Amino acid sequence: MKALEIKKDVFWVGAVDYDSRDFHGYSLSPQGTTYNAYVVKDEKTVLFDNVKEGFLPTMLCRLSQVTELEKIDYIVCNHLEPDHAGCLPELIERCKPEKIYCSPMGKRSMEAHFDTTGWPVEVVKTGDSINIGKRDIQFVETRMLHWPDSMVSYIPQDKLLICNDAFGQNIACTERFADEIDRAHLAHAMKEYYHNIVLPFSPIVIKTLDLLAELKLDIDMLAPDHGLIFRGEDVQYALDSYRSFAQQKPRKRAVIVFDTMWHSTEKMARAIADGLEAEGVPARLMWLKANHHSAVMTELADCGAVIVGSPTHNNGIMPNVAKMLTYMKGLRPQNKVAAAFGSFGWSGESVKNITGWLEDMGFEVPAEGVKCKHVPKHETYEECYNLGKAVAQALKAKCEA
């Protein structure tokens, strides 16, 4: 349980949660996550954020290696979500800080979560700063990235941006820096985190990145509240990755998502994939009994097309497909081409229902969905093949536009 000095007199004092398997509705298996907290020692000692309830003993152990609790002068709450502020009342009781800093919306959130009677809360907004000795702390509100209360804290003397949930990843490991792990693993974790949490706020991400550039902050370390810390050249990598994620430019790749009862819908999915391949569009098939809906969203990050299939079930669609579409709609992906397909026994509403979902999400649906009674025959496979080709052609036109 060692504290780690990430810059001179700046320490990581967070906790690693190896056992967490669900985070904001998406699966962390086989990962886990971290709850990062940081201490800056100067004429004033400042604690930035804390950890999820239950991890306080771990955090206190690391804190004790850096400073005595009663010597913590200020607490900065960049974000009041329980995984970053779950231990706030006990810390305030133990530390008795002079001041607790948060954004205007952070104060509302704090009062909603806790009894703040007697707490020395001070509200800060974009442009405000405090001096703690050799260092200044500048505050920038980042509302809806990804909560209304979110803000970041910049220390110019250290070129350090403590950025709460922005640039986070769910990685549970003993390494603390992004350059210490395999780059492909890091890239996947960043993509997974963004597309399962931050995606709905992509327009705000672009505005925030533009604001950081406008403020001309000289940053050589990004310290998020989840996952690994970016330093040196990796800072630009993180910034560029977020801009790319937020732009959601269509890519020439498709994901075919389906559930199946007696494999008829699965066979249709394979024929659709053949049609996509014939047009030069790679595709991945994801059976929802084997793939969590969060894995679908991570895959969709690299796909400009999503094709969804389900047998008709109780005059509707299979529960796994309904769950996945509900999850996807809430995350609001943009610039996608889509289509529907499915088998049925006697009523056959699934294709119509799925098409409605896809159109409600604002996806381009270039061809009528394919449905098949009972078992696909040659004519059905041909229709599926042609559906794959039609989606591929529409996707290529979208990518070239």
3-class DSSP string for 13-78: CCEEECCCCEECCEECCCCCEEECCEEEECCCEEEECCCCCCCHHHHHHHHHCCCCHHHCCEEECC
Claim to verify: residue 71 and residue 173 sit in the same structural domain = yes
Active site residue 292: no
Q: Verify whether residue 83 is a known catalytic residue.
A: yes
Task: Classify 126 as helix, strand or coil.
Answer: coil
Catalytic one among 193, 194, 242, 381? 193
Q: Are the beta carbons of 44 and 73 closer than 8 angstroms?
A: yes
Give residue 312's domain range.
254-396
Q: Which of 42, 73, 149, 165 is catalytic?
A: 165
Of 84, 195, 226, 292, which one is the catalytic site residue? 226
> Are residues 39 and 139 located together in one domain of the fold?
yes
Residues 131, 13 share a domain: yes
- Does some domain include residue 197? yes
In this structure, what token pair is assigned to residue 394?
């529409």
Confidence of residue 18 (pLDDT cuts 50, 70, 90): confident
Residues 230, 277 within the same domain: no
| pLDDT at position 21 over 80 | no
Instruction: Please check whether residue 81 lies inside any domain of the structure.
Output: yes
Q: Which two tokens stand for residue 184?
A: 């492909």
In a domain, 120, yes or no: yes
In a domain, 152, yes or no: yes
Is 228 within the bounds of a domain? yes
Query: What's the pLDDT tens digit per position in 278-319?
Result: 999 999 999 999 988 989 999 999 999 999 999 988 888 889
374 included as an active-site residue:
no
CA distances from 92 to 77, 100, 106, 121, 279 (A): 12, 9, 16, 11, 61
Query: Same domain for 76 and 211?
Result: yes
Set 26, 38, 73, 146: catalytic member = 146
193 classed as catalytic: yes
195 as an active site residue: the answer is no
* Judgement on whether residues 296 and 355 belong to the same structural domain of the protein: yes
Whether 266 and 215 map to the same domain: the answer is no
Task: Assign 29 a pLDDT band (cuts: 50, 70, 90).
Answer: low
Identify whether residues 34 and 79 lie together within a single domain: yes
Domain's final residue, options 200, 223, 246: 246
pLDDT confidence of residue 28 = 59
293 is catalytic: no
Higher pLDDT, 148 or 9: 9
Which is the catalytic residue, given 26, 79, 158, 237? 79
* pLDDT at 312 (0 to 100): 87
- pLDDT level of residue 12 (50, 70, 90 thresholds): very high
Q: Which of 17, 42, 81, 383 is catalytic?
A: 81
Domain boundary among 182, 217, 246: 246
289 is a domain residue? yes
DSSP letter assigned to residue 128? -
Does some domain include residue 401?
Answer: no
Span 110-137, pLDDT tens digits: 999 999 999 999 999 999 999 999 999 9
In a domain, 88, yes or no: yes
Are 388 and 305 members of one domain? yes
Give the model confidence (pLDDT) of 49-63 as tens digits. 998 888 899 999 999
Q: 338 and 234: one domain?
A: no
DSSP secondary structure of 312-368: -BTTB--HHHHHHHHHHHHH---S-EEEEEEEESS---HHHHHHHHHHHTT-B--S-
pLDDT of residue 310: 93
pLDDT of residue 42: 97
Which pLDDT score is estimated for 144? Answer: 82
Question: Is there a catalytic annotation at residue 165?
Answer: yes
> pTM of the prediction?
0.92
Which CATH number belongs to the domain containing residue 154 in this structure?
3.60.15.10
Residue 330: CATH number of its domain: 3.40.50.360
Catalytic residue selected from 83, 141, 192, 299: 83
Amino acid, res. 395: L
The residue-averaged pLDDT of 334-356 equals: 91
Residue 389 sits in the same domain as residue 260: yes
Q: What percent of the chain has pLDDT over 70?
A: 98
Instruction: Choose the final residue of a domain: 246, 266, 293.
Output: 246
Number of folded domains that form the chain: 2
**Between residues 143 and 48, the one the model is more confident about:** 48
79 is catalytic: yes
Residues 225 and 311 in one domain: no
What is the token pair recorded at 331?
């995350």
